[in-house]
Chains A and B, each alone.
Chain A
Amino acid sequence: MRNLFERAGEVLLTRRTLLKASAAAGAVAALSGCTREPAAFQSPATDAGVQTFRTACPRNCYDTCGQIATVKDGILRKVDGDPLHGYTRGRLCVKGYTYANRTYSPDRIKYPMVQSPRGSGNWKRVSWDEALTMIADKILDLKKRYGSLLPLALDKYSGNFGIVHYAVEGMLSSMGYHTYALGTPCWPAGLDAQIYDMGAFMNHDPEEMANSKYIIIWGANPAWCAVHQMDIIMEARARGAKVVVIDPIHTATASKADLYIQIKPSTDGALALGMARWIVDHNLHDKAFLEQHVKGWPEFEAYLKQEVTLEWASKITGVPVEAIVELAGGYATTKPSMLWMGYGMQRHINGGQNIRAIDALAAITGQIGVSGGGAQYAHLATWGFNYHAMSFSPPAGSVGLKGPDGKYTNRTVNMNNFAAEIQALKDPPVKMLWIAGRNPGSQDPDAKDIKKAFESMEMVVVVDHFLNHSAEMADIVLPCTTHFESPDVNVAYWHYWMSINERAIKPMFEAKSDLEIAWALSKKLNQLQPGSCTYPTEGNEEEWVGKEFNQGIYDLFGIRDWKALRQKPAKATLPTVSWADRKFTTPSGKYELYSDKAKANGLPPMPTYVREMQAPAEFPFRFLTPHPQHALHSQFQNIPYMMQSNPEPMLEIHPKLAEAKGIKDGDMVRVFNKLGEVRLRARLTRLVPPDTVVTYESWYKDSKFNVNHTVAAIPADMGKLYTGNNGISFHDNFVNIERV
């Protein structure tokens, strides 16, 4: 090998070339600046050892866990439950324990990138400045061409429920009147139902459930989707409570129940009405409560007596009369008795109406405003923040949609019919999408139409952690921080706790929080066209967390300063029993079995039964796609720990149906209807009924799997009142199946 050196000696003759190479290299190295000699030798500042930070899981989930992030030398090592959080009590779910894995996935979006053409997989890395310039240019161009920002549409929802993430809405508002996706795909039919009934939706402190003697879990699966509630349910059981689960699927929750009732999907109202009839027939209704606090009892009683029989209810629901009797008897005689209604149950064309029918059970038995009783659904009573991050008005002179009062407003599209509406809009058409905290590519109904909608845009910007089905169809992806990389504050729509989310690690790569993106885009817009955006152009993220607090929040949570949350999470000092004063906020001030408001909105005034959707002849099976165990929608399932634990989606099929279709365990099955198809492996199980097939929505790594290929955007019956648009009947999805 010595000759190598000698050879290089000869090469001295070509010194010119060599020098050139060295010079080029030196110049390049200086430019790249990847590593540099520190200006002065300083002692390393990063050797901070092990630190812990309070974080809050920001996912769209009942439990909104308090977390402790353990960071060693600036690297997130593990994530545990916060023992001082009174609801989650130091425990996390299977997803929560995978966060270190998720944060350091090499698959994360690292830099702003531009895809041309859209969907080609041909990506170019750009600087934040370039990306923001392209985006700002397009925004200003649209504004110029159409005279307003209405061609720009925002679709943002529940990817991160941290309060500071409302900066996205704030950013759009401060650019001008625009178009945005209004509504929520989750829970709106049930919210409206409770508003018609009681004037508002307000669940008990869920820790209250321990005081109940009879708990009916109606269409909720806390064993997968609210694990901490199971502890409270077990506690109630240990104190002698009976637990009933009513669900079309025999869930893990159902296996913990004293009584499980398998119901035909979407017929819950009929079961509740059958129960009500039995209760009235046996004189177990609370006449005093009905007299004092309920509007419309005579009308409803008449309906029950004329239209409802147990045999009728049994025929519709598939639940034997014997079971209805047992259930009604148990509910009406074992007090306090509690109803908890899940969100899956109201994703039907009669979902809101069914919730109203179940609520009615609590009303006629006087179980509202009672410790250990009530009809639990959700609340937003702890969300009274300033929403400072979205408190900026459009620039002066902005033009938008002219309202009836002559003032300009934003234009809305239905989030739950997003694909169709975004394509149908005219004057002006929608030309640009901003998507953050949302993955319509896999979570919206009719995946094909979503793709078409994306294709009809001039520009699609997706802000996300991973290149999911939506980001794949974007022109520009922007990397955003995880909740370990940006500060925030979180509350829940179920329990009464509030947690601070401290920044635990530096952002990976060039990830920015939604707030930082808002600042940066505002800065760019103002550079290009001064005054075009009212959003602040810089700030301190921690300070902005502080700006969300007000005296009301402080009083509610019994704290003096938000920084106190760094010591421990706080619980709202709300009454633990909702409606204890029976002061309902309905127009009549009473619980309204008869709602004029519902009638005025074109709905049945009473919780009468609205027939469930019937299966068309060519697609005779219902296809349920409820929430998964290993994922939260399209989050989590793609990471290594989850792929090991749950490598592929399975279609749960009853053995009878499988036999009729010649399907064996493990066979590939095609699930299809007019809209599209899904292919996956069969798992034969009697946990699902014979006329229903089940799989769980998720985004698997390197997989095109998407349950929403067969789901049509059929609206639920309610939702408009509170969220602006009706919910989606995700579970009114009918298909046929065949072996591949």
Chain B
Amino acid sequence: MPKQLGFHHNMANCIGCKSCQMACKNEYELEAEVNWRRVYPFREDPGTPERNFLSVACNHCENPECARVCPVGAYTKRADGIVEQNHDKCIGCRLCTMACPYGAARYSPAHRKASKCELCKTRLDAGLKPACVEACPARALTLVDLDQFAAPGAVKSVPGFPNSNITNPSIRFTPPVVGKQFRRDA
């Protein structure tokens, strides 16, 4: 059975609290400079100013650029679609950090190597949810199998998200809903 695990980010629910980003660091004791998951501000201006957010980690792409450019073949794709990195193989050439449109691979100057989200594969294998998904207080982040996934209103990209034609990332978004505003700067 084909399978492609990925994330569904419901931006309409996301409050930008960064629990996902920090839960990931907590789980893997990451160094401060390395964020496998990051929360970006989304489209604050123009028009209607808002505080909405994009939460992005590795998108476990169908055609991972990291795997294409890696000179040592450190990246491989599992049967369930997870893009793994064999960290021992990494030589720190940083091509993956350049090639990934989403900045998923993060270079650590301290370790002289790149690393990235592996979708908590050991947690998944143990029947647990990924740490970020588990942590999301607004339940805006879910783990989905894209071969089964069908949510009304979910889209493949949103403004500000890099060109998804390059790699076909395994992420779907539900865009935020802009409420009615009465503002004092009109």
Residues of A at under 8 Å CB distance from B? 77-81, 90-94, 96-98, 100-101, 223-224, 227-228, 230-231, 234, 250-262, 264, 318-320, 322-323, 629-630, 640-641, 643-645, 654, 656, 685-687, 689-690
Establish whether residues B45 and A78, one from each chain, have CB atoms under 8 Å apart when the complex forms: no
**Would you give the 0/1 interface string for B131-158, flagging 1 where the beta carbon is closer than 8 Å to chain A?**
0001111110000000000000000000
- What are the residues of chain A within 8 A of B15 when measuring CB–CB? 223, 227, 230, 252-253, 256
Establish whether residues B32 and A259, one from each chain, have CB atoms under 8 Å apart when the complex forms: no
B19 CB-CB contact with A under 8 Å: yes
- What are the residues of chain B within 8 A of A262 when measuring CB–CB? 181-184
Q: In the complex, what's the smallest C-beta–C-beta distance from A95 to chain B, in angstroms?
A: 8
Establish whether residues A259 and B179, one from each chain, have CB atoms under 8 Å apart when the complex forms: yes
- What are the residues of chain B within 8 A of A250 when measuring CB–CB? 49-51, 181, 183
With A252-B51, A255-B51, A645-B18 already in contact, the answer to whether A97 and B185 are too (CB < 8 A) is no
Establish whether residues B13 and A234, one from each chain, have CB atoms under 8 Å apart when the complex forms: yes
Establish whether residues A98 and B22, one from each chain, have CB atoms under 8 Å apart when the complex forms: yes
Establish whether residues B19 and A689, one from each chain, have CB atoms under 8 Å apart when the complex forms: no
Establish whether residues A227 and B17, one from each chain, have CB atoms under 8 Å apart when the complex forms: yes
A227-B15, A261-B181 given; name 8 further pairs at CB < 8 Å. Answer: A80-B26, A81-B134, A93-B19, A94-B21, A254-B179, A258-B180, A262-B181, A644-B32
- What are the residues of chain A within 8 A of B184 when measuring CB–CB? 262, 264, 318, 689-690
With A259-B179, A318-B184, A320-B182 already in contact, the answer to whether A645 and B21 are too (CB < 8 A) is yes
Give the docked Cα–Cα distance between A77 and B138 (Å): 25
Establish whether residues A319 and B32, one from each chain, have CB atoms under 8 Å apart when the complex forms: no
Establish whether residues A261 and B182, one from each chain, have CB atoms under 8 Å apart when the complex forms: yes
Q: In the complex, what's the smallest C-beta–C-beta distance from B30 to chain A, in angstroms?
A: 9
Choose one: B25, B35, B52, B137; the contact of A91 (CB below 8 Å): B137
Q: In the complex, what's the smallest C-beta–C-beta distance from B49 to chain A, in angstroms?
A: 4
Establish whether residues B49 and A91, one from each chain, have CB atoms under 8 Å apart when the complex forms: no
Contacts A/B (CB < 8 Å), 19 sampled: A78-B27, A92-B19, A97-B23, A97-B135, A98-B26, A224-B17, A227-B15, A250-B49, A253-B15, A254-B50, A258-B179, A260-B181, A318-B184, A645-B18, A645-B22, A685-B49, A686-B183, A687-B51, A690-B185
Establish whether residues B176 and A78, one from each chain, have CB atoms under 8 Å apart when the complex forms: no
- What are the residues of chain B within 8 A of A94 when measuring CB–CB? 17-19, 21-22
Establish whether residues B50 and A227, one from each chain, have CB atoms under 8 Å apart when the complex forms: no
> Which B20-53 residues have a C-beta within 8 angstroms of A?
21-23, 25-27, 29, 32-33, 35, 44-45, 49-53
- What are the residues of chain A within 8 A of B12 when measuring CB–CB? 256
With A260-B181, A644-B33 already in contact, the answer to whether A255 and B26 are too (CB < 8 A) is no
- What are the residues of chain B within 8 A of A92 when measuring CB–CB? 19, 23, 135
B16 CB-CB contact with A under 8 Å: yes
Establish whether residues A227 and B49, one from each chain, have CB atoms under 8 Å apart when the complex forms: no
- What are the residues of chain B within 8 A of A80 when measuring CB–CB? 23, 26, 134
Across chains A and B, the number of contacting residue pairs, with CB separation under 8 Å, is: 141
With A78-B29, A92-B19 already in contact, the answer to whether A230 and B51 are too (CB < 8 A) is no
- What are the residues of chain A within 8 A of B26 when measuring CB–CB? 78-80, 97-98, 100
- What are the residues of chain B within 8 A of A97 when measuring CB–CB? 19, 22-23, 25-26, 135
Residues of B at under 8 Å CB distance from A? 12-13, 15-19, 21-23, 25-27, 29, 32-33, 35, 44-45, 49-53, 134-139, 176, 179-185
- What are the residues of chain A within 8 A of B19 when measuring CB–CB? 91-94, 96-97, 227
Q: In the complex, what's the smallest C-beta–C-beta distance from A496 to chain B, in angstroms?
A: 18
B23 (CB) vs chain A CBs: closest residue = A97
- What are the residues of chain A within 8 A of B18 when measuring CB–CB? 94, 629-630, 645
Give the docked Cα–Cα distance between A685 and B53 (Å): 16
Choose one: A251, A255, A259, A640; the contact of B176 (CB below 8 Å): A255
Q: In the complex, what's the smallest C-beta–C-beta distance from B181 to chain A, in angstroms?
A: 5
Choose one: A101, A644, A686; the contact of B49 (CB below 8 Å): A686
- What are the residues of chain B within 8 A of A93 when measuring CB–CB? 17, 19, 137
Establish whether residues A254 and B17, one from each chain, have CB atoms under 8 Å apart when the complex forms: no
Establish whether residues B32 and A643, one from each chain, have CB atoms under 8 Å apart when the complex forms: yes
A690 (CB) vs chain B CBs: closest residue = B185
B137 (CB) vs chain A CBs: closest residue = A227
List the 5 shortest-distance A-B pairs measured between CB atoms, nearest first.
A223-B15, A97-B22, A644-B32, A227-B137, A323-B182
Give the docked Cα–Cα distance between A77 and B26 (Å): 8
With A92-B19, A97-B26 already in contact, the answer to whether A234 and B138 are too (CB < 8 A) is yes
Give the docked Cα–Cα distance between A77 and B28 (Å): 9
Give the docked Cα–Cα distance between A92 and B20 (Å): 9
Give the docked Cα–Cα distance between A8 and B21 (Å): 59
Give the docked Cα–Cα distance between A257 and B51 (Å): 11
Among B136, B139, B176, which residue has the most Cβ atoms of chain A within 10 A? B139
A99 (CB) vs chain B CBs: closest residue = B26
